[in-house]
Amino acid sequence: MQEIRYLLQIENKKIMENIKNMELTAVFEPAEEGGFVGYILEIEGVNTQGDTLAETKENLKEALELLLLVRRELFKAKSNQIVEKMRLVA
């Protein structure tokens, strides 16, 4: 289990290096039960909650990392697809 966690940490660092210059919109709202909920406007499925705004921000970063990691792991390119990494520059 420790080996899997270590590999996930390495992969998360690679993912964050790849997206560190990308700008996304984080939305935070007070939760009815207290604390905050947060989500990334541009990417469906990246959402979280926390007791404080700071905790919610940190949780949202983790949610984004995990979503990208899972999508990369689950993706299997078909033989007729061209797959490239691209950099978004404004």
User: For residue 27, is it within any domain?
Assistant: yes
Which tokens in the block code for residue 63? 């949610």
Does 85 reside within a domain?
A: no
Please check whether residue 82 lies inside any domain of the structure.
no
pLDDT at 68 over 80: yes
The string of pLDDT tens digits covering residues 1-10 is 455 555 555 5
Q: Tell me, yes or no, whether 22 lies in a domain.
A: yes
Encoded tokens for 14? 């690679």
Residue 58 lies in a domain: yes
**Per residue in 13-43, pLDDT tens?**
666 666 666 788 999 999 999 999 999 999 9
**Alpha carbon separation from 18 to 9, 34, 87 (Å, rounded):** 14, 34, 9
State the average pLDDT over residues 52-73.
90
Evaluate whether residue 80 is within a structural domain. Answer: no
More confident residue, 40 or 78: 40
State the CATH number of the domain containing residue 18: 3.30.160
Q: How many domains are contained in the chain?
A: 1
Q: Does some domain include residue 79?
A: no
- 69 closest CA partner among 2, 26, 5, 21: 5
More confident residue, 77 or 57: 57
- Residue 51 CA to residue 74 CA, distance in Å, equals 31
60's tokens: 């949202």
Whether residue 88 is contained in a domain is answered as no
Domain that holds residue 67: 2-74
